[in-house]
Structure 1
Amino acid sequence: MNQPEPLNEIAKSIWLDAQRAVEMLSFFQVGNEPAVATRIGNTGITSAAVLVRSAILESFCMALGRLSDPGGSDKRSIERAAEVMRASAPPTGPSERVEAWADFLAKATEIKASPAVGKLKTMRKYVIAHTIPKEFHPEHRPLFDEAFVAADLILSAAFLLGVATGIATVSRSALDQVWREHATAYFQQLTQISG
């Protein structure tokens, strides 16, 4: 019989996906700021910028979808990590890890019940990954605000898992700050070159 995948292996995979999602989210948010959008619109590269933004949004939705996939032995998702954690003893040691363990499990439950996450997963399944438009009705479409609510829930859980398992190398706020700075510098450079 196969042994279940160790929690740390699942957590490492989730950690990498979450870091990548934060990178994409930063570029998407900075690129959507009114001042940046105006500068891009004034340069004549609007079509290229929209194409890049769409690709980032698509990749972002795919990453969030993977992170919020249902559990199961072959998944490296938040729900799978929660299944393994519920069958394991909580960590001992630093209180930060113990608290993150409990907070992660609560957040994983919240993700399963979130309508915003459900809409994001439906969009991923029927529009981005498989293109089945007849299965994707207007009420399934997440608004940007809902997509960001779903992203915050999923990324918060992923970072809590990183702390709970001891693999976290940086806080989410520090990573957000670094990638917002990179995104801001990118868009400034892009509009200077194209302007």
Structure 2
Amino acid sequence: MGNICGTSSSRHVYRPPDTQRTASAPSTSTHIGGDTLTSIHQLSHSQRERFLDMHDPMRVMGLDHDTELFRVTDSSYIKNDKLAGNPESIASIFMHEQLRPNPYASRTGAQTHEASAYVPKRIKATDLRVPSLNVMVGSQAQDGIKAYDHMSNDPVPVKMRLGDFLDRGGKVYSDVINDGGESQALIVTLPKGQKVPVERV
């Protein structure tokens, strides 16, 4: 999970450096007419809001400042009951501010100015150039992090509060490994030099 965990939604609209989820899809072109867009800021306000409603994990999952986040981390990373972000995450995310063509758009007739013509771009978490942590959220998140115990010599399960990340300039992205179950994998950024309090669970 980040420092170990292999891997939250109120109505926040993020403005990170301009990218989510895609399924295996047909090879048909999604270009139906007009210029293909690459950023949500090229969409009209209404279409941009629609896109974020569909893909911003803060909105999709109904997360807020009080949302609990769970992860497993090695004890060596916990300093004074606080944790910093990992600048070398190996995770990939769906960046919901960058667009790529929806491979199903040609089937649905979506036009290039419409939110449904796009899905978030997939990028590496390190491309954000901001330290981050892999976390789990959801009703089974605390149990879900147990799968990462083997990735550390001294694994420590911890709980954090999403608001502590947001208050320090953190942002939330969906991890590409999400499976839509009772626990969801997220990547939460935490600017360099910032730390969040953790509670051992």
TM-score (norm 2): 0.25
Q: Which has the higher helix share?
A: 1
TM-score normalized by structure 1? 0.25
Give the structure with the larger strand fraction: 2
Bigger radius of gyration: 1
